[in-house]
Amino acid sequence: MSSDSGSTGSTGSGGGESLSEGAAGLELPVVSAAPAGPGTDPEAAGPGADVEPMQYDDGFGTEIGVGPHPLPWPVDERYDPELLAHGDRRNVGDGYRYWTREAIVADLDLRRHDFHVAVENWGHDFNIGSVVRTANAFLAKEIHIVGRRRWNRRGAMVTDRYQHVRHHPDTESLTAWAESEGLPIIGIDNLPGAVPLERTELPRRCVLLFGQEGPGLTEEARKHAAMVCSIAQFGSTRSINAGAAAAIAMHAWVQRYAEIPEVGQRG
């Protein structure tokens, strides 16, 4: 068993390219990898990829997580001896404390929802990390990066390590993959002709496609979307933050289809 201090690739077959991860917030080259589960060779992500990145709470108040596990240790292959010995300060829920990353991903894979999240990445938008973090919180099936292969991971707070991330060089590639999977693409942007998200029943199986902060969905993305949904606004601002818009759209899907757990429990 390996600790959650290395990088991992993502899985998936067919259209698109799985991505390997570097340390959060670092501009590391992304190396093409064959379909593989979590635990892909850490060398693939470049120097420093086997060092756990900073957590979101570093330098802010009480340190999260738990210290070394008291003896006797639990006997279960899901537990990581390194974490049991030294403590677990990762950004994971308490139910996953001391688990290997592989075990966490395997457990999440049993429960992932039927929606995918795709985000255009033409200008290294800092909001992409926030979208990825939200996609993890709402347990999206996969995350699709459209455009540039490298993306700003800082806002993801390491959550991309527990997701399956796929790269598409352009919207046409994403569309071809989605069609092969029977998934309609639902664009999210406040554009002329868009239908209100608040009055729309999203398909259970779909790809939610988001544009970048500022320009929003590209013209190419609009062409390939089965429909575009807008988010109602009532103030003076022209638009809301791209990361916030993504969270609203994902939560709309969750409200319609997800089984809502009790507070503190995993769905």
Contact of 131 with 138, CB cutoff 8 Å: no
CA distances from 52 to 13, 66, 162, 219 (A): 28, 16, 14, 39
pLDDT, residue 45, reads 38
Please report the sign of the dihedral spanned by the C-alpha atoms of residue 247, residue 253, residue 258, residue 260: positive
Inside any domain, residue 157: yes
Looking at the domain assignment, is residue 83 inside a domain? Answer: no
Q: For residue 11, is it within any domain?
A: no
Q: How many domains does the chain have?
A: 1
Is residue 221's pLDDT more than 50? yes
Task: Take residue 59 and report the two structure tokens written for it.
Answer: 């330098």
pLDDT of residue 73: 97
Find out whether 210 and 117 touch, Cβ atoms under 8 Å.
Answer: yes
Mean pLDDT for the chain overall: 82
Structure tokens at 205: 């199986």
Quick one: average pLDDT of 20-28? 34
105-124: per-residue pLDDT in tens? 999 999 999 999 999 998 87
Q: Does the residue 145 lie in any domain?
A: yes
The verdict on residue 81 lying in a domain is no
Residue 23 has pLDDT above 60, yes or no: no
Q: What is the pLDDT of residues 25-79, one digit of tens each?
A: 333 233 222 233 333 333 333 344 444 444 444 445 577 899 999 999 999 999 9
Q: For position 249, which CATH number holds?
A: 3.40.1280.10
35: closest CA among 47, 18, 22, 52? 18
Tell me which residue range forms the domain holding 197.
Answer: 112-257
By percentage, how much of the chain surpasses pLDDT 70? Answer: 75
Residue 217, in any domain of the structure: yes
Does residue 69 belong to any structural domain of this protein?
Answer: no
Beta-sheet strands, E only, within the chain: 17-18, 115-121, 143-147, 165-168, 185-188, 195-196, 206-210, 227-230
In three-state secondary structure terms, 184 is: coil
Per-residue pLDDT band for 96 (boundaries 50, 70, 90) equals very high
Is 20 contained in some domain?
A: no
Token couple for 63: 């340190």
